[in-house]
Amino acid sequence: MPQQVCVLGSTGSIGTNTLDVMARHPDRYRVFALSAMSRVDELLAQCLAHQPRYAVLPDAALAARLRDGLRAAGVRTEVLEGPEALSQVAAHEDVDAVMAAIVGAAGLAPAMAAARAGKRLLLANKEAIVLGGALFMRAVEQGGATLLPIDSEHSAIFQCLPEDRDTWHQRIDHIVLTASGGPFRQRDPATLADVTPEQACAHPNWVMGRKISVDSATMMNKALEVIEARWLFNLRPEQVKVVIHPQSIVHSMVVCRDHSVLAQLGTPDMRVPIAYGLSFPERIESGASMLNLLTTPNLSFEEADAHRFPGLHLSWQALRAAEGSTAVLNAANEEAVAAFLERRLRFDQICRVNRETLETVAPEAGEVDSVEGLLTLDARARRHAQDLISSRSATV
Ligand code: NAD
Ligand code: MG
């Protein structure tokens, strides 16, 4: 029987890559549900191609447009509306696997629902684990879910480790996440104030959604990945290290207790981690091109410069602060990136908003024990960041 897969955030970069891999294996995977935020025409085209049982949109007006299109095409997909519907389809008893590919904190609730329902959970949505932290990992354990990292670095680490998670702790000395350095690796840091959203979104090695592209340019993406790795692999903050590797061929490394170093290599193509998430512990064809070492540019590694990338170090700062501080950092960053994309904040001010918010908004007792508490903390941090953004000339 093919596995029934929910693809949450199906119109995004990870979502479309997931559908691409699944379409290569119609005998193994069926699309159970799709979801989008606003792009109804793209979601309609996906429904026509994959004929899912459900499609989810945020409100009634968008849902009505999709229903009209489906009716005209004679497709029987049922359209659900509102954020709760995402959790409903993610936890549906007929679902085997959930691809969590919504961007931002909005993806936490459906990812938690999939975790609690014991699904195979393919986690691309790093903000969900940065926000959810220990609570998220407890939901995975208590629900009996299989958590599979989709972020390429974390998939690399996962691929370097044995299937038996109980042995991970014993064998890992530390891990090294590689970072491309983004589009401004060699740009004079003094000129970063002038960066436009278009320049920030032009990543040298990967084509991705706008939010993660800006995060890659500020290195906040790597900061979020440090926090993500801490939770996925149950590491101490100092066991997660970062090195710049501009070619994005070595996707990350595990340094073992005996100092043997295990690395995973490949062309930069998200279909590899997606295919592994879908097929683990087996391997399936992904559509990615083969790595040719003879034509690959020389692999190089550089230290991550704290002056050039001040945002990176906020990850360790947040991990060492009170539990919940990583949620504060994530919320500030989501607000700062949105403001930058709307040209309300300068590129070089993103990190300052993040640091200020992290150092000012303190998690309160009990806030980290429930999704509701975390979302209250998230909202508080967002308000603080918004105040900083609107009064940036005075305070930032
Ligand atoms: P994207 O912007 O291309 O797509 C985001 C998807 O989420 C879209 O389908 C959108 O409709 C949906 N969405 C956005 N806001 C929503 C909301 N409030 N409620 C419901 N749905 C919403 O983003 P992406 O690049 O595909 O990234 C998705 C996630 O995967 C992010 O967390 C990102 O950090 C992570 N990730 C992406 C890549 C990549 O190569 N693109 C790599 C690693 C990790
Ligand atoms: Mg990554």
Q: Which ligand is closest to the CA of 124, given by its number? A: 1
**Atom 22, ligand 1: residue with shortest CA distance:** 37
Q: What is the pLDDT of residue 393?
A: 52
284 is in an annotated binding site: no
Q: Is residue 394 predicted with pLDDT exceeding 50?
A: no
286 is in an annotated binding site: no
**Atom 20, ligand 1: residue with shortest CA distance:** 37
The contacts found for 356-360 with CB under 8 angstroms, 24 or more apart, are: 356/332, 356/388, 356/395, 356/396, 357/328, 357/329, 357/331, 357/332, 357/381, 357/384, 357/385, 357/388, 358/314, 358/317, 358/318, 358/321, 358/325, 358/328, 358/329, 358/332, 360/384
Q: pLDDT (tens digit, 9 = 90+) per residue, 142-155?
A: 999 999 999 999 99
Q: What is the pLDDT of residue 373?
A: 97
How would residue 308 be classed by pLDDT, with cut points 50, 70 and 90?
Answer: confident
Q: pLDDT (tens digit, 9 = 90+) per residue, 192-230?
A: 999 999 999 998 888 899 999 999 999 999 999 999 999
Q: pLDDT (tens digit, 9 = 90+) per residue, 360-373?
A: 999 999 999 999 99
Q: What is the mean pLDDT of residues 179-191?
A: 92
**Atom 21, ligand 1: residue with shortest CA distance:** 37
Residue 2: cis peptide before it, omega within 30 degrees of 0: no
Q: pLDDT (tens digit, 9 = 90+) per residue, 324-342?
A: 999 999 999 999 999 999 9
Please, which residues bridge with residue 81 across strands? Answer: 57
**Atom 16, ligand 1: residue with shortest CA distance:** 37
Q: Which ligand is closest to the CA of 58, given by its number? A: 1
pTM of this structure: 0.97
Q: What is the pLDDT of residue 205?
A: 83
316 lines ligand 1 (CB under 6 A): no
181 lines ligand 1 (CB under 6 A): no
Q: What is the mean pLDDT of residues 303-314?
A: 91
Q: Which residues surround ligand 2, an ion (CB under 5 A)?
A: 151-153
Q: pLDDT (tens digit, 9 = 90+) per residue, 10-64?
A: 999 999 999 999 999 999 999 999 999 999 999 999 999 999 999 999 999 999 9
Q: What is the pLDDT of residue 206?
A: 80
Q: Is residue 395 predicted with pLDDT exceeding 70?
A: no
Mutational test site, ligand 1, from 7, 17, 208, 232, max ligand atoms within 8 Å of CB: 208
353 lines ligand 1 (CB under 6 A): no
The SS3 call for residue 183 is coil
Q: What is the mean pLDDT of residues 242-249?
A: 97
334 lines ligand 1 (CB under 6 A): no
ipTM above 0.90, yes or no: yes
Q: Strands 240-244 and 302-303: what pairing?
A: antiparallel
Nearest Cα residue to 274 out of 290, 286, 291: 286
Q: Which two tokens stand for residue 335?
A: 């607000």
* CA gyration radius, the chain: 20
126 is in an annotated binding site: yes
Q: What is the pLDDT of residue 330?
A: 98
167 is in an annotated binding site: no
Mutational test site, ligand 1, from 212, 252, 337, max ligand atoms within 8 Å of CB: 212
127 is in an annotated binding site: yes
Q: Is residue 245 predicted with pLDDT exceeding 70?
A: yes
372 is in an annotated binding site: no
Q: Which of 37-41, 73-77, 185-189 is predicted least confidently? A: 185-189
Mean per-residue pLDDT over the chain, rounded: 96
151 lines ligand 1 (CB under 6 A): yes
Q: pLDDT (tens digit, 9 = 90+) per residue, 82-130?
A: 999 999 999 999 999 999 999 999 999 999 999 999 999 999 999 999 9
211 is in an annotated binding site: no
Nearest Cα residue to 150 out of 202, 93, 201, 107: 107
Question: What b/e string do you get for 354-373 counting C-beta neighbours within 10 Å, with b at 16 or more?
Answer: bbbbbeebebeeebbeebeb
Mutational test site, ligand 1, from 102, 136, 224, max ligand atoms within 8 Å of CB: 102
Mutational test site, ligand 1, from 8, 14, 126, 267, max ligand atoms within 8 Å of CB: 14
Nearest Cα residue to 249 out of 201, 306, 288, 198: 288
Q: pLDDT (tens digit, 9 = 90+) per residue, 272-299?
A: 999 999 999 999 999 999 999 999 999 9
Q: Which two tokens stand for residue 42?
A: 């793209």
**Atom 42, ligand 1: residue with shortest CA distance:** 151
81 lines ligand 1 (CB under 6 A): no
